[in-house]
Amino acid sequence: MRHSLEPGARRTRGVPGCTAIIIRKRSQNLNCLHVFPLQEWKSLEILAHIKTRKQAAVTMSKRKAKDSHLTVGDCVSQAQRLLRDRFCRQQLPAGPAGVEPQHKHLLELLRRTAVHGESNSVLIVGPRGAGKTMLLNCVLKELLEDSEVKKNVLLVQLNGLLQTDDRVALKEITRQLQLENVVGDKVFGSFAENLAFLLEALKKGDRSSSRPVLFILDEFDLFAHHKNQTLLYNLFDISQSAQTPVAVVGLTCRLDVLELLEKRVKSRFSHRQIHLLSPLGFERYLHCVRQQLSLPPDVPERRFSQEWNASVEALCEDKMAEAALKKHFNSSKDFRSLHMLLMLALSRVTVSNPTIRPADLLEASRLCTADAKANIVHGLSILELCLIIAMKHLNDIYDGEPFNFQMVHNEFKKFIQRKSHSVHNFEKPVVIKAFEHLQQLELIRSVDGSSATKTQKEYQLMKLLLGHGQIMEALQKYPQCPTDVKQWAVSSFG
Amino acid sequence: MSVLLQNQGYADERLRVVTKRLPCREAQASTLLALMGEPEQHSYPSIFIYGHTATGKSHVTQTLLRELELPHAVVSCVECVSSGLLFEQVLLAFFSSSLTLPRSPCLSDFVRLYRQLCAQLPATQTRYIVLDRAELLRDMDANLLPGFLRLQELVEDNVTVILLSEIVWDKFRPNTGCFEPLLLHFPNYSKAELQEILAQDSHPSYSPELYSSYINILLGVFYSVCRDLRELRHLAALNFPKFCEPLETGEAKEKDTHKLWRNIEPHLKRAMQTVYLRDVSSVQWEQQQQTEERETGGLKGLSAHDHVELPYYSKFLLIAAYLASYNPARTDRRFFLKHHGKIKKTNFMKKHEKTSNHLLGPKPFPLDRLLAIFYSVVDSRVAPTASVFSQISSLVTLQLLSQVSHDDQLDAPKYKCAVSLDFIRAIARTVSFDIVRYLYDFL
């Protein structure tokens, strides 16, 4: 147990006297208090902003409903606005649907840090779109509703995508703790001094009298790639010794994230993990769809919203739409991809088509599941298509061995001589240009990248990145495909 | 045919202008517009648009954004050698800010500055960042692409990132996944659509029907090879004067389509070999067309074939290298030895039916073999002087030969021949050496 020095003793040390006061809540030094105003959590502000906006919309529509009727256009645009906010901004739901136990666990954990000054570390693990951030934000929202806590807690949010190394991360931490004026580039230049200062500041406190700090590390696995994992080591080290109370919350989609940590880092981690592997059934999924799409009764107008909700109900009952949803559900259960689907369906709602119909959903699902490679193949010229067929034959004959341009050209020439009526012979350079276009589209890839510069381009070994089935399927739908080319593709020997 | 774009948030008049500007892309434009929604509404964080070159990806997006006067930043990733340039362009377009980014900024700096500026200048309308040629983002910092895909969340602003690329999304996805964008496909223009678009730039002094029939002929020749609108437009503009020649001299009337076709067709075929491959520049092609009547000689293009001049022995060295690369070593006896002992006739004549070396590519060979073949093919006696060796190394410098082994092997370096059959034939012809007779593949 290390205890911080008495305040008086601290001040006598001379060096920026406020080091430890930063996180002291009951500091006697009044001068220092106003230097560090409360860290405002920005997303909370936004939440509040949304709330007021929503309320404003509600009151507005109420008032309008009394005065006059909104036109269909206004209704549609208001409904669009509301639903778009839901699908695109990842607005927080009222409660954590389906993850209540995890929610309770995390809330309890963070509350202990915030109120009782206990240090903790936890990882939230779950696949992309499983609702990790949603869960955390819900918990934080609830936690910070308590004004005592809100006044007390400092929040630091880092993202592995943004803070790509420890130096940047450290800068960001200082910034978020609003210590720049103390640190300043002039006083401390180097990374080491900066780190030492922060650590000192965090270590100085003890658990009874320091302001707790919550560290949120989004994309946690990326932090593990930082050199020596200095940041993680220090954070975890503080979290498991009786210094300033900190809670380190990591969010990651990698199940094997612990393997990435060095031994010394791992041993300091509490090994607390919260898994979000939602066992969502199709019934629940359908329920979510309904919930996500439905409008509140008075927004934008009673009659419109009733009609809308009825149409949503009808949509979920519809057999075809249900099949499409089932297909989508089977490919991925997460909310992100559902939002994408619903967003596509929603975008088809216009004034002339003011409700959401099953046809819209089917179209959206078609767009979502379209095979991108087949789409690209459909846009190729006949010559390029012939080359792909030649490659397919080579793959069949040589059992997937890589090939070079010369072999493909040979195969193509054989076809021209023997069977072709519709395709003429092309000069070799023209064929090479077509071949290079395929490479540019990444439909074929050179096998060894490094030696590619040494060999002639005709003899570079290539691999086809399309499957047999994909080619045949794409060929079936190719617009105005000559019959002889089609037959050549089907025939078993080139 | 032309369906008017519809959207609540914009004036009809403006949408009509946009529709006019986007021929044959009504469906795509209306889908995109519907996704973007009204200007004040939130839009999806990232949209990924893919399709072949010249299918109107950038054109549609940019026309929509410009004509509807939405706040947007268009950045071509080709221009951005560093991510700093990219950030700067975006910030400049949105905030026209004088606030400077730090030197070699990272995504974190960008996001921080964006948030700062955004707090001063909050968005009333959705902001759009268009990243053209987005496939190049993959080669930049690894965190850039995932970062841009979820930029809306990171900066907490109403911003949408539109990525344009001709490569499918599957090739972009990082190892651990990322925020999935909305995928939109722009299909190619069909033949009829190409005809319609190309026919729009008709020549003022001729009737539109004539031009349209010309385009028809042009597409007949090029459509099976090339569907790139830009390339076709270039070819059309370049060859039209030739098409009109009989009309100007009075040999044919506008109605004699067959005559005109016969006149232009061989011409277009030749254009395919030269203009399409960029063997000659446009100016050269035009000059050739004028001088063509006088000179019947072959076209001299930009390709290396016709320009390489080599010393006499270098030519033989190159020939020897070619033979060494494409013939199996065991056949050397038979090609280059006058008295090659007694070999069984059957064995001698029999050629194994294997894939020829001209399919598999050149094989490496040691220096000794090269010199041995060289002495037997060259017609005079050459001493193995330094000049011969230096010629070998200059062939390597010219990249006609390539050295396979490491540089530290001074004793027995290995080479590969790096020229094509056509090239070596042209070389052999200049020294009247019948190379085909010496090639195992052509026995």
Contacts of A345 in chain B (CB under 8 A): none
Do residue B50 and residue B161 come from a single domain?
yes
Given this model, what pLDDT does residue A477 score? 87
Given this model, what pLDDT does residue A158 score? 93
Closest CA of chain A from B99, distance in Å: 18
Please state, in angstroms and as integers, the Cα–Cα distance from residue B165 to each residue in A320, A387, B132, B134, following that order. Answer: 33, 23, 7, 5
Answer whether B44's CB lies under 8 Å from B36's CB. Answer: no
Contacts of B355 in chain A (CB under 8 A): 407
Q: Which amino acid is at B202?
A: S
Do residue B167 and residue B19 come from a single domain?
yes
Residue A121 to residue A116: CA distance in whole angstroms: 15
Answer whether B154's CB lies under 8 Å from A163's CB. Answer: no
Do residue B265 and residue B397 come from a single domain?
no
Residue A7 predicted with pLDDT over 70: no
Residue A478 predicted with pLDDT over 80: yes
Domain assignment of residue B241, given as a range: 191-304
Q: Which two tokens stand for residue B8?
A: 């609540």
Residue B318 to residue B311: CA distance in whole angstroms: 11
Domain end (from B186, B215, B242)? B186
Question: Across the 443 residues of chain B, what is the mean pLDDT of every consecutive 10-residue run?
Answer: 62 86 89 88 91 91 92 92 90 80 86 89 89 92 91 90 93 87 92 90 83 89 86 87 83 79 83 73 72 48 62 92 90 75 51 70 90 87 84 90 80 87 88 88 79
Domain end (from B304, B329, B362)? B304
Q: CATH 1.10.10.10: which residues of chain A? A: 373-490
B27, part of any domain: yes
Residue A191 to residue B303: CA distance in whole angstroms: 56
B7, part of any domain: no
Considering only CB atoms, B176 lies closest to which of A81, A221, A376, namely A221
Residue A379 to residue A356: CA distance in whole angstroms: 32
User: How crowded is residue B420: how many other Cβ atoms within 10 Å of its Cβ?
Assistant: 18
B245, part of any domain: yes
Cβ–Cβ below 8 Å for B177 and A128? yes
Please list, residue by residue across A344-380, b when 16 or more beta carbons sit within 10 angstroms of its beta carbon and e when fewer do.
Answer: bbbbbbbeeebbbbbebbbbbbebbeebbbbbbbbbb
Structure confidence at residue A34 as a pLDDT band (50, 70, 90): very low
Cβ–Cβ below 8 Å for B418 and A351? no
Answer whether A204's CB lies under 8 Å from A244's CB. Answer: yes
User: Which residue's entry shows tokens 């085909």?
Assistant: B436
B24, part of any domain: yes
Task: Identify the burial level of B407 via C-beta atoms within 10 angstroms of its C-beta, where 0-12 means exposed, 13-18 middle and 19 or more buried.
Answer: exposed
Do residue B132 and residue B195 come from a single domain?
no
Interface subset of A 101-140, CB within 8 angstroms of B: 128
Answer whether A233's CB lies under 8 Å from A277's CB. Answer: no
Residue A413 to residue B65: CA distance in whole angstroms: 47
Do residue B152 and residue B300 come from a single domain?
no
Do residue B377 and residue B421 come from a single domain?
yes
Residue A8 predicted with pLDDT over 50: no
Residue A165 to residue A222: CA distance in whole angstroms: 9
Do residue B282 and residue B338 come from a single domain?
no
Cβ–Cβ below 8 Å for A81 and B190? no
Provide DSSP, B54-110.
Answer: TSSHHHHHHHHHHHTT--EEEEETTT-SSHHHHHHHHHHHHH---PPPPSS--HHHH
Closest CA of chain A from B202, distance in Å: 25
Q: What whole-number percentage of chain A has pLDDT above 90?
A: 18
Cβ–Cβ below 8 Å for B170 and A373? yes
End-to-end CA distance of chain A: 79
Q: How many CB pairs under 8 A join A and B?
A: 180
Considering only CB atoms, B52 lies closest to which of A81, A336, A379, namely A379
Do residue B269 and residue B417 come from a single domain?
no
Cβ–Cβ below 8 Å for A88 and B44? yes
Of A45-54, A103-112, A149-158, B95-104, the least confident: A45-54
Given this model, what pLDDT does residue B341 score? 57
Residue A457 to residue B389: CA distance in whole angstroms: 27
Cβ–Cβ below 8 Å for B43 and A161? no
Q: What whole-number percentage of chain A has pLDDT above 70?
A: 79
Residue A472 to residue A437: CA distance in whole angstroms: 20
**What SS3 state is found at B337?**
coil
Q: State which residue of chain B sits closest to A81, comparing Cα positions.
A: B41
Given this model, what pLDDT does residue A450 score? 56
Residue B427 to residue B412: CA distance in whole angstroms: 27
Contacts of B141 in chain A (CB under 8 A): 164
Mean pLDDT computed over A375-400? 90
Given this model, what pLDDT does residue B246 score? 82
Please state, in angstroms and as integers, the Cα–Cα distance from residue A424 to each residue in A179, A421, B221, B269, B278, following that order. Answer: 73, 8, 10, 11, 21
Contacts of A383 in chain B (CB under 8 A): 224-225
Cβ–Cβ below 8 Å for B107 and A84? no
Residue A145 to residue A242: CA distance in whole angstroms: 27
What ipTM did this prediction achieve? 0.87
Cβ–Cβ below 8 Å for B180 and A407? no
Tell me if the bond preceding B39 is cis, omega within 30° of 0. no
Q: Which amino acid is at A387?
A: L
Cβ–Cβ below 8 Å for B146 and A161? yes
Q: Which amino acid is at B406?
A: H
Given this model, what pLDDT does residue A217 score? 94
Residue A145 to residue A139: CA distance in whole angstroms: 10
Q: Which amino acid is at B183?
A: L
User: Which residue's entry shows tokens 């001589």?
Assistant: A417
Closest CA of chain A from B359, distance in Å: 5
pLDDT tens per residue across span A18-33: 333 344 444 333 333 3
Asked if A454 has any chain B CB less than 8 Å from its own CB, the reply is yes
Please state, in angstroms and as integers, the Cα–Cα distance from residue B441 to each residue in A77, A342, B82, B327, B435, following that order. Answer: 73, 62, 50, 8, 11
Cβ–Cβ below 8 Å for A442 and B143? no
Task: Identify the burial level of B303 via C-beta atoms within 10 angstroms of its C-beta, where 0-12 means exposed, 13-18 middle and 19 or more buried.
Answer: middle
Residue A73 to residue B8: CA distance in whole angstroms: 7
Q: How many domains does chain B have?
A: 3
Q: Which amino acid is at A225?
A: H
Residue A159 predicted with pLDDT over 90: yes
Asked if A332 has any chain B CB less than 8 Å from its own CB, the reply is no
Residue A17 to residue A10: CA distance in whole angstroms: 7
Cβ–Cβ below 8 Å for A88 and B42? yes
Residue A226 to residue A213: CA distance in whole angstroms: 22
Q: Which of B233, B163, B72, B420 is nearest to A457 (CA)?
A: B420
Describe the crossing of helices B229-249 and B208-222 by its angle, rounded to 10 degrees: 120
pLDDT tens per residue across span A46-100: 444 444 444 444 444 444 444 446 788 888 888 888 888 888 876 777 776 778 8
Residue with the bigger pLDDT between A451 and A385: it is A385
Can you name the CATH fold of A373-490? Arc Repressor Mutant, subunit A (1.10.10)
Q: Which of A127, A142, A35 is nearest to A93 (CA)?
A: A142
Contacts of A376 in chain B (CB under 8 A): 50-52, 166, 168
Question: What contacts B390, CB < 8 A, 6 or more positions away?
Answer: none
Q: Which of A411, A417, A354, A369 is nearest to A386 (CA)?
A: A411
Question: What contacts B363, CB < 8 A, 6 or more positions away?
Answer: B325, B326, B357, B416
Q: CATH 3.40.50.300: which residues of chain A? A: 100-275
Do residue B50 and residue B152 come from a single domain?
yes
Do residue B208 and residue B269 come from a single domain?
yes
Residue B48 to residue A370: CA distance in whole angstroms: 14
Considering only CB atoms, B38 lies closest to which of A77, A88, A368, namely A77
Which of B144, B157, B359 would best serve as a mutation to test chain A binding (most A beta carbons within 10 A)?
Answer: B359
User: How crowded is residue B285: how many other Cβ atoms within 10 Å of its Cβ?
Assistant: 18
Residue B416 to residue B324: CA distance in whole angstroms: 9
pLDDT tens per residue across span A192-243: 777 777 777 777 666 666 788 899 999 999 999 998 898 999 889 888 887 7
Contacts of A350 in chain B (CB under 8 A): 6-8, 34
The CATH number that domain A100-275 falls under is 3.40.50.300
Residue B57 to residue B183: CA distance in whole angstroms: 13
Closest CA of chain B from A420, distance in Å: 14
Residue B135, domain CATH = 3.40.50.300
User: How crowded is residue A422: how many other Cβ atoms within 10 Å of its Cβ?
Assistant: 11
Given this model, what pLDDT does residue A11 score? 37
B3, part of any domain: no
Cβ–Cβ below 8 Å for A406 and B183? no
Structure confidence at residue A14 as a pLDDT band (50, 70, 90): very low
Provide DSSP, B237-286.
Answer: HHHHHHHHHHHHHTSS-TT-HHHHHHHHHHHHHHHHHHTTTTSS-HHHHH
Q: Which two tokens stand for residue B98?
A: 């004088």
Residues β-bridged to residue A122: A249
Q: Which two tokens stand for residue A217?
A: 């590390």
Cα angle A139, A141, A144 (rounded to 5 degrees) comes to 105
Do residue B26 and residue B134 come from a single domain?
yes
Do residue B23 and residue B102 come from a single domain?
yes
B283, part of any domain: yes
Domain end (from B277, B304, B331)? B304
Asked if A229 has any chain B CB less than 8 Å from its own CB, the reply is no
Closest CA of chain B from A186, distance in Å: 16
Given this model, what pLDDT does residue A189 score? 61
